[in-house]
Amino acid sequence: MAKNVKNASKAQAEGLKYVPMRKAARAMTFVAGALSSGIVVFSIAEAAWAWAVVFAAMTVVAFYLAYAMTIDLHEAH
């Protein structure tokens, strides 16, 4: 019986293994998107259009990755 409990807890641990790291990665990606969008606003205010475009692209990618990680987390449960 102890062997069955050990196998069951091992299988459950494997299924939930990366969820906390995924949540942390999603949060950090969301923060990166928020910071990038702030830099975009600052760049537009300073009329630094090239930097505004670069950071706008980074913002889009960061928010897309955060969204994709959110979908992935919902599928992991």
- Whether the predicted pLDDT of 60 surpasses 70: yes
Q: Following DSSP, what letter does each residue of 7-54 receive, concatenated?
A: HHHHHHHHHHTTHHHHHHHHHHHHHHHHHHHHHHHHHHHTT-HHHHHH
- Whether the predicted pLDDT of 52 surpasses 80: yes
- State mean pLDDT over 48-71: 86
Q: How much is the pLDDT for 20?
A: 74
Query: What pLDDT digit, counting tens, does each position of 6-41 carry?
Result: 555 555 555 556 667 777 888 888 888 888 888 888
Residue pair 66/30 in contact by the 8 Å Cβ criterion:
yes
Quickly tell me which residue has 């300073």 as its tokens.
46
Chain centroid offset of residue 77 CA:
16
